[in-house]
Amino acid sequence: MKQLLLLIAAGLLITTGAQAQSFGGALAMTEQHVFVGETGNMAFPGEVYVYALDNLEGEPTILSVNEELERFGRTIVADGETLLIGAIDADEARGAVYVFEYDGAWQQVARLTASDASPDDQFGSSIAADGDVVLIGAQGRSESAGAVYVFTKNPDGTLSETGMLPVEDITEGDGFGYVLAIEGNLAVVGSPAQMENMGAAHVFMRGAEGWSQISKLAPDFLTERSRMGSAVMVHQGRVYVSAPTQNLVLEYEWDSESNQLRMRGQLAPFDVQRGSQFGASLTASGNEIWVGDSRSGRGRGVVYRFMSGDEGWTGAMKLLPNEEIGRSAFGSSLALYGDHAVVGAVRMDSRAGGAVLMNRSEDGWSAVATLINEVKGYEAITGEEVRCAEGKASRWSCQDVDLTSFLPLPQMGGQRGSRLNDIWGWTDPQTDREYALVGRNDGTSFVDVTDPEMPRYVGDLPMTAGSVANVWRDIKVYADHAFIVADGAGQHGVQVLDLNQLREVEGEPVTFTETAHYAGIASAHNIVINEGTGFGFVVGASGGGETCGGGLHMLDLRDPPNVSFAGCFADPNTGRRKTGYSHDAQCVVYAGPDLTYNGKEICLGSNETALSIADVTDKENPVAISVASYPNVAYTHQGWLTEDHRYFYMNDEGDEPRGLVEGTRTLVWDVSDLDDPVLVAEYIASTPDTDHNLYIRDNLMYQSNYGAGLRILDITNPESPTEIGFFEPGPGSSSWSNYPYFKSGTLIVTSGNEGLFILKKRNVDI
How far apart CA 261 and CA 251 sit, in angstroms, is 10
Taking alpha carbons only, the member of 501, 455, 494 closest to residue 474 is 494
| 44-81 core/surface letters (b: 16 or more CB in 10 A; e: else) | ebbbbbbbebeeeeeebeebbbeeebbbbbbbbbbbbb
Q: What is the DSSP letter of 144?
A: H
Q: Distance (Å, rounded) from C-alpha 556 to C-alpha 566?
A: 6
Confidence of residue 456 (pLDDT cuts 50, 70, 90): very high
pLDDT digits (tens, 9 = 90+) for 101-126: 998 899 999 999 999 999 999 999 99
- pLDDT at 159 exceeding the cut of 50: yes
Summarize pLDDT for 27-80 with one digit per residue, the tens.
Answer: 999 999 999 998 766 667 789 999 999 988 889 999 998 767 788 999 999 988
322 by DSSP, 3-state: which?
Answer: coil
- 696, 715 contact by CB (below 8 A): yes
Q: Measure CA 320 to chain center.
A: 25
First-to-final CA distance of the chain: 67
Can you give the pLDDT at residue 369? 93
pLDDT of residue 41: 63
* pLDDT tens per residue, range 307-332: 887 667 778 899 988 887 888 999 99
pLDDT at 699 over 80: yes
Using alpha carbons, select from 279, 274, 305 the residue that is nearest to residue 292: 279
Q: Band of the pLDDT at 378, cuts 50, 70, 90?
A: confident
Beta strands in 551-630 (DSSP E): 552-556, 564-569, 584-589, 601-606, 611-615, 623-628
Alpha carbon of residue 758 to chain centroid: 24
Q: How far apart are CA 10 and CA 281, in angstroms?
A: 9
Task: Give pLDDT tens digits for 188-204.
Answer: 999 999 999 999 999 99
d(Cα 389, Cα 42) in Å, to the nearest integer?
23
8 Å CB contact between 686 and 648: no
- 77 forms beta bridges with 7, 84
pLDDT at 617 over 50: yes
Model pLDDT, residue 733: 61
Provide the pLDDT for residue 43: 64
259 conformational bin, left if phi > 0, alpha if psi -120 to 50, beta if neither:
left
Comparing CA positions, the residue from 532, 575, 547 lying closest to residue 485 is: 547
> What DSSP line would sit under 749-762, residue for residue?
EEETTTEEEEEEET
Distance separating alpha carbons of residues 385 and 454, to the nearest angstrom: 10
Residue 5 clears pLDDT 50, i.e. is over it: no
Q: Under 8 Å CB-to-CB from 736, ≥6 apart: which residues? A: 420, 421, 422, 423, 692, 693, 704, 750, 751, 752
For the stretch 498-535, pLDDT in tens is: 999 999 999 999 999 999 999 999 999 999 999 999 99
More confident residue, 1 or 450: 450
User: Average pLDDT over the chain, rounded to whole?
Assistant: 91
Confidence check: pLDDT of 1 > 90: no
Side-chain half-sphere of 715: how many Cα atoms within 13 Å? 31
What pLDDT shows up at residue 393?
95
Q: Is the pLDDT of residue 19 over 50?
A: no
Q: Does the pLDDT of residue 296 top 70, yes or no?
A: yes
Q: Nearest CA to 445 among 479, 417, 416, 482?
A: 482
**Is the model's pLDDT at 14 over the cut of 70?**
no
- Among 1-5, 7-11, 475-479, top mean pLDDT goes to 475-479
CA distance 118 to 126: 17
pLDDT score of 721 more than 60? yes
Nearby residues of 325 by Cβ (< 8 Å), 6 or more positions away: 345, 348, 354, 356, 370
Asked if 560 contacts 531 with a C-beta cutoff of 8 angstroms, the reply is no
CA nearest neighbour of 63 among 75, 82, 50: 50
**DSSP 8-state assignment for residue 550:** G
pLDDT digits (tens, 9 = 90+) for 235-285: 999 999 999 999 999 999 988 788 889 998 899 998 877 888 999 999 999
**DSSP for residue 389:** B
Higher-confidence residue of 234 and 15: namely: 234
What is the rounded distance in angstroms from the CA atom of residue 101 to the CA atom of residue 83?
6
Query: In this prediction, what percent of the chain has a pLDDT beyond 90?
Result: 79
**H helix runs in 117-239, sequence order:** 141-144, 194-197
Instruction: Output the pLDDT for position 316.
Output: 86
Task: Tell me the pLDDT band of 351, cut-offs 50, 70 and 90.
Answer: confident
Return the minimum-mean-pLDDT range out of 510-514, 563-567, 600-604, 751-755: 751-755
Q: State how far the Cα of 53 lies from the Cα of 34, in Å rounded to an integer.
A: 7
- Per-residue model confidence (pLDDT) at position 70: 85
Which pLDDT belongs to residue 21?
58
Residue type, 214: I
Per-residue pLDDT of 122-139, as tens digits, reads 999 999 999 999 999 999
In the predicted model, what is the mean pLDDT of residues 627-652? Answer: 97
Q: Report the residue count for the chain.
A: 766
Query: In terms of Cα–Cα distance, which of 615, 670, 618 is closest to 641?
Result: 670
646: how many CB neighbours lie within 10 A of its CB?
Answer: 15
